[in-house]
């Protein structure tokens, strides 16, 4: 099973998740006001998700590693989950790079 983007609509707002082939969410977007804006965000993940320099590796206040994917203009495109280790976070980044480019978009209503 390949990875996929889930484009989620809820109460007229939109967001997306990039899921790995095992079904785990590896990247979550902000909330968008329109479906077109969310689709632009998905295209930005496909474009920027293959460039390691676009991943900003961070640490939460509780010490858990996570990453954000940044566009060329430094806007955040998506945020990962919290990871138990930096190695797991690096695996998450590699998973985004592997799945983003050719992942289909599936629309979901909540």
The pLDDT tens digits for 4-23 are 999 999 999 999 999 998 89
Single out the residue of 45, 43, 16 nearest to residue 31, CA to CA: 16
Please report, for the domain that includes residue 52, its CATH number.
Answer: 2.30.29.80
Find the length of the chain: 110
Write down the pLDDT at residue 1: 55
pLDDT of 21-48, one tens digit each?
A: 889 999 999 999 999 999 999 999 999 9
pTM, two decimals, is 0.93
Number of domains comprising the chain: 1
User: What three-state secondary structure class fits 106?
Assistant: strand
**Residue 88 belongs to what domain range?**
4-109
pLDDT of 59-102, one tens digit each?
A: 999 999 999 999 999 999 999 999 999 999 999 999 999 998 99
Whether residue 56 contacts residue 43, with contact meaning beta carbons closer than 8 Å, is answered with: no
Write down the pLDDT at residue 110: 82
């Amino acid at each position: 099973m390949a990875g996929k983007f889930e484009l989620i609509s809820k109460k007229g707002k939109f967001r997306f998740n990039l899921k790995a082939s095992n079904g785990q969410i590896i990247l979550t977007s902000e909330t968008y006001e329109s479906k077109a804006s969310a689709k632009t965000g998905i295209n930005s993940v496909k474009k920027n998700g293959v460039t390691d320099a676009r991943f900003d590796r961070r640490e939460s206040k509780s010490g858990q590693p996570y990453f954000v994917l940044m566009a060329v203009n430094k806007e955040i495109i998506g945020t990962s989950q919290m990871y138990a280790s930096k190695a797991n976070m690096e695996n998450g980044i590699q998973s985004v790079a592997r799945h983003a480019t050719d992942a289909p978009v599936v629309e979901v209503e909540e």
